[in-house]
Every structure is written in structure tokens, then in C-alpha cells.
Amino acid sequence: MNEVSDWKISKWPFLLGNAVLVAAAVAVIWKAAHPISQSEMLIATSVVTLGALLGCLPFILEYRAVKKLIEVNAVTTVAEQLHNLKTYSAQISTATDQWARVQEITKGDAEKTAAAAKEISGHMAAEVSEFKEFQAKMNDSERAALRLEVEKFRRGEAEWLQVVTRILDNIFALHNAAVRTGQPELAEQIGQFQNACRDAARRVGVTPFAAATGEKFDGQKHRAHGVENPPAEAGIAETLAPGITFQGRLIRPALVRLQSAPPPVEAPEKNEEEKVVAPAADELPL
């Protein structure tokens, strides 16, 4: 009964009655004597009007029925919505009650969880602090070990540098002695040996240097033998011991004899070999 088709009215009886009344009005006018009297005109008009009302009646009734149907459907829809609203309200109330119960149940668990999280955080902070202390101790021990190794390396470097320097000094003194013998071949051989030793020393950063005869005295690179305050324009007569540089840094200046200083007089015996004179250790500090 909620469908529009169920509320429709059969229109053919009303239309048939309308047609009959119109036909009656036509018959009255057709059979009446002419001119038509007012009474006959009134009867025909009344019959036609009645037929028209009879023809419009089913449409009016159907319109009212459809209107009623719409009102009924609207009321039904509102009732259903109200029922659904009540159902939703009940569901919301149930959900609210359940949420309240869940909050009550989980309140204690949340407090326990927060306490456990704080405890874990405290353990983690303690572990981090212990790890930092351990790392600091390890770093201190590693730095101490590295410092000890560096000191050992420096001591070893100073020792082998002193050994190489002494060897180069002895080779230089040997070459000077070979030159003084007056034998060119011997001096050349010793010179080649000295150059080979110096090349080997340069590979580890040790570079010996000697002052040329007549070179101007330089207080930074040279040290005068037996003269504390040499003159500014003094020239170099000979080199007694070569200077040493290590990796471009001056380790020891060259020990030289100045031209103004008189050379020491030696009286070598005839047929006696010349001794190889090397500078004293206290005159050649590293």
C-alpha cells in the first residue's frame, strides 16, 4: 500500500458517466423546440457541468490519495529514522560504557607501564654512563700507550740519528785524511764511498752539508772552532765536521775553522801515517 500504483482509482466509470451526461445534454438541446427556452438551456448547462465534475472527480481523488500516501511515507520515514536514532543512541551509550570500563581496567596497567618505562630509562641511563666511563678509561689508556710509543720512537729516532751522525763524521774525517795523503786515487775512492753513504743517509731524511773554502761565515749554519765571537766578515778556511739536517730541520751546524785563525802547527814524523782526526763529541752536539 505504500506504492503509488496501489492508490490509483479507475477512471473509466467516471469518464463514461461524463460522456452519458454530455450526450443527455446534447439530446435535450436536440429534441427541444427552437428557440430553446431558458429552462431547457439551464437543464443542458447543469447536465454538462455535472458531467465535467464527474470527469474531474477521479483525478481529484487520486491527487488526494497520492498526497496522503506521501504524508504516510514521510511519517513512516521519520519513524524509522527515530527508531534508528534510538538504536544509535543505545549503541553510543554502550560504547561509552565499554570505553569507561576499558579506561578503568587499563588505568592500573598504564601506571605500571609508565613505572616500567621509567625504570628502563633509568637502567639505560646507568648503562650509558658506565659505557662512557669505560670508553673514557679506554681512551686514557690508549692515549697513554700511544704517548709511550711516541716517546720510545723519539728515543729510538734520537739514538739512530746520533749513530748515523757519528758514522758520517768518521767518514768525513777519513776523507779529509785521504785528501791530506796526497794520493788522488785514494781520495777519489774515499770520496765515492762518502757520497754513497750520504745518499743512503738522505733516504731517511739525514742530510750532511759542508762549508766551501772562502765561504762567508753564517752564525746559523756554522760554528767556529776555538772562536767564541767570530767577526762578521770572517771567511771559512776549512770544514772540520759537516753540519746535519734532519727532514729539513737543522740538527747541528757545521764546525769550521776561520781564515783569520792561525792553523795549528803539527810536526809529523817522516814515514809515519797521518792519523784520522775526528771532532770531539762535546764539540758536535745533536
262 or 186: which leads in pLDDT: 186
Q: List pLDDT tens digits, range 227-252.
A: 877 776 788 888 888 888 888 888 88
Q: Let me know: does 284 contact 252? Beta carbons within 8 Å.
A: yes
**Lowest mean pLDDT segment, chosen from 8-17, 32-41, 50-59, 274-283:** 274-283
Q: Let me know: does 246 contact 205? Beta carbons within 8 Å.
A: yes
pLDDT score of 283: 47
What value does the mean pLDDT take over residues 216-235?
79
pLDDT score of 172: 87
The answer on pLDDT for 68 being more than 70 is yes
The answer on pLDDT for 274 being more than 50 is no
Q: List pLDDT tens digits, range 134-165.
A: 888 888 888 888 888 888 888 888 888 888 88
Grid cell 436536440 in the structure block, residue: 30
CATH code reported for the domain at 155-260+275-280 = 2.30.22.10
**Lowest mean pLDDT segment, chosen from 84-98, 244-258, 266-280:** 266-280
Cβ-defined contacts of 229-236 (< 8 Å, 24+): 230/258, 231/260, 234/258, 234/259, 234/260, 235/259, 235/260, 236/211, 236/212
pLDDT score of 79: 75
The answer on pLDDT for 275 being more than 80 is no
What value does the mean pLDDT take over residues 19-42?
75
Pick from 201, 193, 214: which is nearest to 243 by CA? 201
Would you tell me how many other CB atoms lie within 10 Å of the CB of residue 47?
20
What value does the mean pLDDT take over residues 275-280?
44
**Lowest mean pLDDT segment, chosen from 43-52, 67-76, 110-119, 274-283:** 274-283
- 43: pLDDT confidence band, cut at 50, 70 and 90? confident
Q: Let me know: does 256 contact 217? Beta carbons within 8 Å.
A: yes
- Cα–Cα distance for residue pair 232/260, rounded to 1 Å: 12
As a whole-number percent, the residues of the chain with pLDDT over 70 amount to 84
The answer on pLDDT for 5 being more than 70 is no
The answer on pLDDT for 271 being more than 70 is no
What value does the mean pLDDT take over residues 72-95?
80
Global confidence as pTM: 0.41
Pick from 36, 56, 35: which is nearest to 44 by CA? 36
As a whole-number percent, the residues of the chain with pLDDT over 90 amount to 0
The answer on pLDDT for 277 being more than 60 is no
pLDDT score of 9: 67
Pick from 46, 14, 4: which is nearest to 29 by CA? 46
